[in-house]
Structure 1
């Protein structure tokens, strides 16, 4: 495998060297560049299509709305396109490099809005993107939602290749990978737990989000650190033209957003807040056992940007959110994310763009018993700080070179538990603080080889150092039989800041696109990814209290190799998009656990871990209608996800806990009139795999179910299916009025299906000698909801 990767890396390195040589030979070229924005509010448009009408060549705007075209001097017609906005044609005469900023007007008719959009006409066919989806926030607000809460993470689960292990599960699974194998970015800052209320809702306030991009194949070299996918969420920049507000009141929470110019035409800000209010109703209860309980979450996010001059822009954004649950003095827990991002965009010249970024992220979680002889307080957190620089060089119409470097510094505090009660038998515990340093450099080129053939190829070199977080830091090796708890041996002591172990990985990336006709193309990709952080969880679904563990001297980095092949086709003047993608992924150094593993506050956690390999493969079908009164999509995935871990399942492959053979989603949105819009979602999926007993034994008269064959995930729970519906009403308002509103009425799980979350076994109440299976359903009935949304512009 190493030789294969090295050969592919050498080939890609040669291609990159040839490209750099070609860049140096470019002569007699001029460049036109600038930003594409929304005329209504001055927001930069990400992924807008910019093309030259005369020859069909072009590009698209980057994550900051910047574009650059290199051409020979002459007269051209530039075409600017983005679905949901009016196409703009601009005639220009170019004699020397120049700047051209463009404002696009939104389409006036709501029926032209799309649910999942490509950036421009035919982009799904002509772009290098493979395994990439973008979500349109304005249309997501029309779709049925649990308790009326529009949710990004739930929405992406309706796309091909995406699944979840059950109702109310935290996170999502991509192409047979675990929830920790997805890199979730909020304005370039990592979010370690993207869920509120134990997985029912995500931390992303829909009012504050501008763009959502999911990459699950053909991952560019600038991204790394996770095996399966990148979920890139970008916040709104703020209205640069006028003061405006928006918000809503729903069944679960209330939210409010305000945005305005700082200096009109030069800068703006946006502030958004959301809070649930179940705890407020609990306090009104006359039952003292209820009114002392707490159950709520909140979000606060903000962003500001300022244009210093034509070549320099600053962005500052942040997010803070928290979940709190408490049962009087008996139990309490909380978890939350805090992020901060400072960015400086600089344009050296019309062809060279750079973004320098400083990132801070903090994820902390805690639980405890507030008082009494058993009282304790357990806390844990992971903090990271990142510095990076990302360069884009638009050499000519055939080559776009991307390169950069980044460094991330981690502080892991796996857990400490203390008590304030002198009468308790509990002893204070504090696990060692761990440090980590992750580095990466990358070089990537997107090249148009011929009129039909294009390629994107790159190399990423990543490394991770495991570092002592305190003086007298103890590191062990572990010995023992495979599949059993191992014993620590050969302890070594380190001082704070000493490097214990360093790992390196070379990650080649390659994507190819061949245009068959004006409406169809074939794409292929290969990428190797490495992951240095691991989520330690032996539950079916990840929980907020799971432990994040760095790569150590005993835990190796996870590595994945994925190949994919796809066919893309448009119909009826690009109003209907179709794609069929197949993938195969092999993963190394996958982590699993011995039976009865103790993961909580375990100073010898590595003694509980087992290692092996995994494989995943499948086919993804996607049919999407973009325009007209009726739009939506059909998504179907057939896939397998399996693991082989020595010491589990007799050392043979077994289905992973997130393996689902069939996964179907049907989404429809019907805009009946300017006042009424209707939508429905139907989902069906194979039940997740689980381990069932095939025997039992008795201890002190208690019958205990038991699996005698050491098999893992040998059965499946029943299949999952659900139908949701909603209706959106836009009240009539006077022409010219700055106030707008709508009502969203929805029913989640319309036919009240009791989808099983899991199956468990227990002795029968009538006859303890008989073992019964029981179904646990998280949501066992239909859930109606009403949400009122408003805006003032």
Structure 2
């Protein structure tokens, strides 16, 4: 597992190694600098000390060390500083900032160190321990594998002590072929017969070269001699520093989890979905709206994953908080339209959220308390190094904050949510892993004692991961999800409750094969069985005049076969491509109505056909090719382009301004076809300042050759002939995305601008002309600036601007015979509500430097909507006494919301 790891120190390595034990030293000086003291120890004892001189305070100190151990001496020298040290290896000590020096090292760290060592090392003929006495001859032709490759194995050791080295790098010179030694110091390389120079690197031992003549498979052990070198600062991250220009997949954004907690948030709750809105091409219609829109797509056109489980709803409290618990997340990737072949079932994007395993070594606890939410996370080993658990839970107590809203109806409302995650990981040897995890959530919302929502999710997953060889591995996942929701009318005479929901079972086997360093292949199946409750209406009181009705459960099966390959054609040109073939079946039991002329319309039902359980009602096939390509113009710039064909067989039904938690889901039927789309993008990407500054410009287009929208005044709730409320047509979306990011530095942050249009053309709406979709927002601008005077303190400002979304509004009225005035409406989505803009501020006091403390604390103070902008969620119209139409703005949040969040965790 790769992790974000920063070490902000340069390393100076000095002199010799000794086999003696229990070294002691004497050092008395009333006025000596820390640098001079460390250098004196380096010169006088057989030890090596790594330190960066400019990190040490320059003032003199007094030392009186008599028969002191190395630990006692270093503690005295570093006293009253923010520095600490680790006893890295026998007689090797590393000094650096306490906040990072205790971080667990991994193979990625050693590989980065080795790279810096090689850059700093002198020429081979002057390098200590690098001399060769001629090439070593390995193996015979008879020992070659059936693929013509030789397996070179060996162990890396210290020539003085015989100690094996974990994380030493063995690389073929002038090649990308490399490996890292395991916990026993062993390495293994696959090579074709020939002559090679192996460069073996390990921190403190320089880059040692060994000439080998490989005839076949064999063993080659290497003993390293020490070498002094001065290293540059080393930063290891979970993605490559040049990923912005080197990435092959088009239209993908990765969320920086390290920066997530520093962003200004509503009521102090860290939110993955809100962080997505900082990226170009991603927007929402405002506070109180669930989900998000990608490149003009609708809310339900995003596939929301928690590992391999698809979430039906991504929001708590009607969009104010995210479903995802940030403390449990390993990585977040958003694929915008150009979607890899392993994902499917949605038109616009995939949000791939991977959850992390619990700690296999020690227990850890983290808790946070904010103004309206509280959370706790526990993780640790069940059997050390073999099995682990991680548990996280969150709950809200938000009702007091609702009273701060500017709208009286909102003040008379209430909201509550709870969610919990549990993940168990069991290792079976080094090649097999079983993961069991569960997720549950509950939301309750009441508005002004007028209506209420109640919705919940219960999801379980099991995943088996298997490594078959160094080149072949795979996994098998099984997911079950049950999402239920209800909407209640609380008024006495109309009191009713409408229930709906969706259940699904997913089985997804995947296999991955890495043929060589330039070619990798992935293939698998993705089978989903859906069970949809389209609606059930019941009276909520005896006085209610509501009519009870219910619809029969619908079933559908979506089975997909997919395959893809990543191929590096040259150092400059790489391609990632594949296909996804989907067979979808709409299954009985169910009833299909027949219509005059075969066209669904109100009042034109002529007959019906009854289908039995499991009987095929309708079937669709969809072939969906996917391809992305990257061409590096220079080491700092590249062009990236992509195309994907996507299909969606499950859609959300809603006719309000925004989907609600109780909006029903509709499977594709014989009358309601699936959505089909072609997606294109091409962009230019540039890195500056040694990959610290990332710039991008991307143009995209989407041609939707099959979609549907609703008739005017459509009735969709518990409607047995829903197809009569739907019209079939096509759509298009296009836009430009500009972005800039500075990753590190005292001042860093990102800026993005998106120009986006999304339109539809459907016979029967707007006279058959193109009209704006519900989520068409041409301009969207986001700027986030971080000021980091040091590692503990961060001040963040976030500004957001977006064009108001389109609505259909009355533009006049006329009088009828009885004297009433009837409004005359504009064309579909022809009018826009006011533009949206907001400024947020946050200050974060991070964890302290003292690594000896059992508990670490951090604080975040934030101001959401600093200047109290009354952003319109929607605009509704009433008639004035003179019968004119009056526009009324509904602003869910019309004031500034301060928040203080306190976090505490154990090491």
Indicate the TM-score class for this superposition, using the shorter chain for normalisation: 0.7 to 0.9
User: How far has the Cα of 1:732 moved from its partner?
Assistant: 5.3
Give the whole-Å Cα distance in 2 for the aligned partners of 1:89 and 1:722.
53
Give the whole-Å Cα distance in 2 for the aligned partners of 1:112 and 1:145.
32
Give the whole-Å Cα distance in 2 for the aligned partners of 1:256 and 1:330.
34
Contact 2:359 2:380 in 1 (8 A): yes
For 1:131, the equivalent position in structure 2 comes to: 251
Match of 2:148 among 12, 22, 27: 27
For 1:778, the equivalent position in structure 2 comes to: 892
CA deviations on 1:619-670 (whole Å, 9 max, x unpaired) are 1111111112222111111121111011101100011111111111111111
Q: Does 2:304 align with 1:184?
A: yes
For 1:754, the equivalent position in structure 2 comes to: 870
Aligned length: 715
CA deviations on 1:82-110 (whole Å, 9 max, x unpaired) are xxxxxx99999998699xxxxxxxxxxxx
Secondary structure of the residue aligned to 2:476 is strand
- What pairs up with 1:484-523 in 2 under 5 angstroms? 485=602, 487-523=604-640
Contact 2:812 2:885 in 1 (8 A): no
User: How far has the Cα of 1:760 moved from its partner?
Assistant: 2.2
Contact 1:270 1:304 in 2 (8 A): yes
Q: Does 2:835 align with 1:716?
A: no
For 2:37, the equivalent position in structure 1 comes to: none
Match of 2:784 among 667, 670, 685: 667
For 2:578, the equivalent position in structure 1 comes to: 458
User: How far has the Cα of 1:204 moved from its partner?
Assistant: 0.9
CA 658–307 in structure 1, closer or farther in 2 if over 3 Å, else same = same
CA 29–232 in structure 1, closer or farther in 2 if over 3 Å, else same = farther
Secondary structure of the residue aligned to 2:535 is strand
User: How far has the Cα of 1:142 moved from its partner?
Assistant: 0.6
Secondary structure of the residue aligned to 2:468 is strand
Give the whole-Å Cα distance in 1 for the aligned partners of 2:833 and 2:492.
40
CA 698–243 in structure 1, closer or farther in 2 if over 3 Å, else same = farther
Give the whole-Å Cα distance in 2 for the aligned partners of 1:668 and 1:366.
41
Match of 1:705 among 818, 823, 827: 823
For 1:84, the equivalent position in structure 2 comes to: none
Q: Does 2:547 align with 1:430?
A: no
For 1:308, the equivalent position in structure 2 comes to: 428
Q: Does 2:544 align with 1:544?
A: no
- What pairs up with 1:86-235 in 2 under 5 angstroms? 119-235=239-355
CA 495–78 in structure 1, closer or farther in 2 if over 3 Å, else same = farther
CA 520–57 in structure 1, closer or farther in 2 if over 3 Å, else same = farther
For 1:678, the equivalent position in structure 2 comes to: 795
For 1:368, the equivalent position in structure 2 comes to: 488
TM-score, scaled relative to structure 2 = 0.74
For 2:856, the equivalent position in structure 1 comes to: 740
CA 245–58 in structure 1, closer or farther in 2 if over 3 Å, else same = farther
Contact 1:617 1:639 in 2 (8 A): yes
CA 557–282 in structure 1, closer or farther in 2 if over 3 Å, else same = closer
CA deviations on 1:54-94 (whole Å, 9 max, x unpaired) are 44647999xxxxxx9965476656999xxxxxxx9999999
CA 701–235 in structure 1, closer or farther in 2 if over 3 Å, else same = farther
CA deviations on 1:490-511 (whole Å, 9 max, x unpaired) are 3111111111111000011111
Secondary structure of the residue aligned to 2:303 is strand
Contact 1:243 1:259 in 2 (8 A): yes
Contact 2:172 2:178 in 1 (8 A): no
Give the whole-Å Cα distance in 2 for the aligned partners of 1:613 and 1:638.
21
RMSD: 3.4
- What pairs up with 1:520-599 in 2 under 5 angstroms? 520-599=637-716
Contact 2:812 2:884 in 1 (8 A): no
CA deviations on 1:374-418 (whole Å, 9 max, x unpaired) are 554432110000111111100011210111112111100111123
User: How far has the Cα of 1:306 moved from its partner?
Assistant: 1.0
User: How far has the Cα of 1:353 moved from its partner?
Assistant: 0.8
TM-score, scaled relative to structure 1 = 0.84
User: How far has the Cα of 1:486 moved from its partner?
Assistant: 6.0
Contact 2:364 2:906 in 1 (8 A): yes
CA 351–363 in structure 1, closer or farther in 2 if over 3 Å, else same = same
Give the whole-Å Cα distance in 1 for the aligned partners of 2:641 and 2:174.
26
Give the whole-Å Cα distance in 2 for the aligned partners of 1:790 and 1:90.
45
Q: Does 2:531 align with 1:411?
A: yes
Contact 1:364 1:381 in 2 (8 A): yes
CA 245–261 in structure 1, closer or farther in 2 if over 3 Å, else same = same
Contact 1:636 1:665 in 2 (8 A): yes
Q: Does 2:505 align with 1:385?
A: yes
Give the whole-Å Cα distance in 2 for the aligned partners of 1:400 and 1:486.
56
For 1:83, the equivalent position in structure 2 comes to: none
Give the whole-Å Cα distance in 2 for the aligned partners of 1:546 and 1:113.
47
Secondary structure of the residue aligned to 1:198 is helix
Give the whole-Å Cα distance in 2 for the aligned partners of 1:736 and 1:562.
53
CA 292–687 in structure 1, closer or farther in 2 if over 3 Å, else same = closer
Give the whole-Å Cα distance in 1 for the aligned partners of 2:502 and 2:616.
19
Contact 2:736 2:755 in 1 (8 A): yes
Give the whole-Å Cα distance in 1 for the aligned partners of 2:894 and 2:396.
22
Secondary structure of the residue aligned to 1:385 is strand
Give the whole-Å Cα distance in 1 for the aligned partners of 2:800 and 2:643.
30
User: How far has the Cα of 1:425 moved from its partner?
Assistant: 4.5
Match of 1:616 among 707, 716, 733: 733
For 2:906, the equivalent position in structure 1 comes to: 792
Secondary structure of the residue aligned to 1:168 is coil
Match of 2:775 among 646, 654, 658: 658
CA 147–290 in structure 1, closer or farther in 2 if over 3 Å, else same = closer
Contact 2:374 2:395 in 1 (8 A): yes
Contact 1:761 1:771 in 2 (8 A): yes
Larger Rg: 2
For 1:359, the equivalent position in structure 2 comes to: 479
User: How far has the Cα of 1:362 moved from its partner?
Assistant: 1.4
The unaligned stretches of length 5 or more in structure 1 are 1-23, 33-49, 62-67, 81-87, 99-110, 284-288
Secondary structure of the residue aligned to 1:349 is coil
User: How far has the Cα of 1:336 moved from its partner?
Assistant: 1.7
Match of 1:769 among 854, 872, 883: 883
